Each structure stands twice: as structure tokens, then as C-alpha cells.
Amino acid sequence: MAKLARRVYGVLGVSAINAMMNADFNGYPKSLANGTIYASDKSLKYPIKKTWQLEGKNVLYIKTMRMEAGKKGEVIIVPRALKEGFENIFGIEDLSKVKDVNEILKNLFSAIDVKNFGATFAEKGNNIAITGAVQIGQGMNKYESTSIEEQQILSPFRDPKAKPGKDDQDDEIAKNSTLGTKIMTDEAHYFFPFSINPNVYKEFEEMGVTEGYTEEDYLEFKRAALSAMTAFDTNSKSGCDNEFGLFIETDNKTYLPNLDKFIEFEKAEKNTIRVNIKDLISGIEDKINSMEIYYNPLTTNIETDLEGVKMFNIVTQKEV
């Protein structure tokens, strides 16, 4: 497969309706000091990696579990360490006995998540840092009226350690069920900027450990990035959907800033997403190879000042 010969800049949009896109350690949506709700790049990368993993592709940087004997002889389930995950995926008996760094690098680049997002591989005797071709920024919530909802959850099982309450009602709850809380946003719309630099692996290409970032790598990322959040249907993520995608392909020497700052969201019966980038690319139109916008025409209107941009249904992937 030929190496990708162009740079790509864009924005990925995710809606969260009665859902939790990305929680902090207290269970509430992550937020800046000024109160702006956001989601980290990891919250978007994980569903993408999970999609690839379920398709049978090699994904290294994702939690996997194994069983081992506990201190008292019981069987417990624990996450694999990086070394164990590497050995498991690539069929290596003992990583510490592999002395050829080229072999390790070739294995790393054969993992689709490493090929896209890079890796920090800090193992004894092999301290390797790979800057990923795909860089994703923080996803800012552009819907100003987001509110946080808390739901009380009653478990079907009694808590054997629960103590009697202050009154009969509390006492009944303590005897019968544990009480939990589910926190979510009523509605939020996150926009993640991203860029793809196919030249970032040049030194590794010269070592002969990778063919570089290819057209196939880009298409795999694009496909998963436009559908993975909708497909990732866990309890807290049910209600999180891919709702927007902007892809601007340029020549290999054009540099654009993060594009999420040029995106606006307006809530209505049918939401509006505005994409105003014409002034940014004024004078370099000849360096733009293509522009594409993906969205759901049933829920969203697109307003843009871009000329020649192609519109696609994000669900069917067909041109609108």
C-alpha cells in the first residue's frame, strides 16, 4: 500500500444525549476552571481502538485481562502489564530475551493503534518513544446549556455490610439494596480537532522497520473515527454518537491550526453546525486537495462558507 502523500486536518464531533462522554475521578464530566465541559482525546481514541480490536486487528494499548493465582491460592483476574500484553499479541515467550530492537519496532508498527497514535514503550532495555501520525486534541463542548443529571440507582442485591438507618425507610433500604448514583449530561456536543502528518515516521522508515503511514492506515482511521463512538454502546456511553466529521486534505507542506475553533453549534429542533474556514484557507486554495463534511441530515443542518466541499451522510457514508 502506497504511503499517504498528503496531510489531513479536521474535526470529529460527538453528541452525548443523557450520557457520560468522559468523567473525572469524582464521576462528573471533566471541566476547565471556567466551567467549560470537555472530553480528553483518550475518550475518543478508546472506542476507536476497541472497534479495531473487535475486528481482530492487533491493538496493543488497550486493557486486557488474565487470570492468576492469588496469595491464598484463589484465582483472581488482573490486567496484563505492557510486557505481558506485548508477548500475548505478538506470540513472544519472553520479551526480556529479545535483544534485536528492530524486531520490537516491527512488532510495534504492526499494531494498528501504534501505527496511528504512536507509543511510549518503556520496558527494561527497550525505551522507545513513537510520536503518532494522528494527533487528536481535547474535545470541547460547544453547547452552552448543558446540565448535569444525577440518577439514584437501587441494586437488586442487599449490602451485607449495610448498617440500620435513622428511620424505618432507611433501615429498609439498608436491609434490601445498595444505593448508587449515575451521573450524566442531559445534552453535550463535543468537537475534537485532529491532524495527520504522514512524514512523522521518516526515521523509522529509514531503519526499515515500517513502510510509513499509508493510504490504508488513513482509511482505517477515517472509517473507525466516523463510527466507533456510535458502535461503542456501554451503559454510560449509550447515547454518545458520532454526529460530525470534517476532513481537509492538503499537500504535504501545508500547515493548518486546530480547526475546532472555527466550528459553532446552535441548538434547535434541528441542530445547526457552522463551519467557517474560508478566511483561514484564503490564498492557499491551490494547496487543498479535497474537503469533506460528514453529518446526520435527519438531526443536523450544516452551514459553511467553504466552496467545493462534499457532504456525506455520517451513517450511510453516502454523498448527500
Task: State the cell numbers at 12.
Answer: 470529529
226-246 tens-digit pLDDT: 999 999 977 768 899 999 999
What is residue 310's predicted lDDT score, i.e. its pLDDT? 98
What is residue 178's predicted lDDT score, i.e. its pLDDT? 62
Task: State the cell numbers at 302.
Answer: 450544516
What is residue 170's predicted lDDT score, i.e. its pLDDT? 58
Amino acid identity, residue 141?
Answer: N
Residue 227 and residue 237: Cα distance in Å, rounded? 13
Cβ–Cβ < 8 Å for 262, 280: yes
Q: 151-165: buried (b, 16+ CB within 10 Å) or exposed (e) per residue? A: eeeeeeeeeeebeee
What is residue 173's predicted lDDT score, i.e. its pLDDT? 54
Which segments in the chain show pLDDT lower than 70?
158-159, 161-179, 236
Residue 301 and residue 303: Cα distance in Å, rounded? 7
Domain regions of the chain by residue span: 7-41+132-313
What is residue 268's predicted lDDT score, i.e. its pLDDT? 95
Residue 190 and residue 31: Cα distance in Å, rounded? 12
**Pairing mode of beta strands 7-19, 179-196:** antiparallel
What is residue 10's predicted lDDT score, i.e. its pLDDT? 98
What is residue 154's predicted lDDT score, i.e. its pLDDT? 75
86-102 tens-digit pLDDT: 999 999 999 988 889 99
Which of these, 295, 180, 240, lies nearest to 39 by C-alpha position? 240
* Cα maximum dimension of the chain: 75
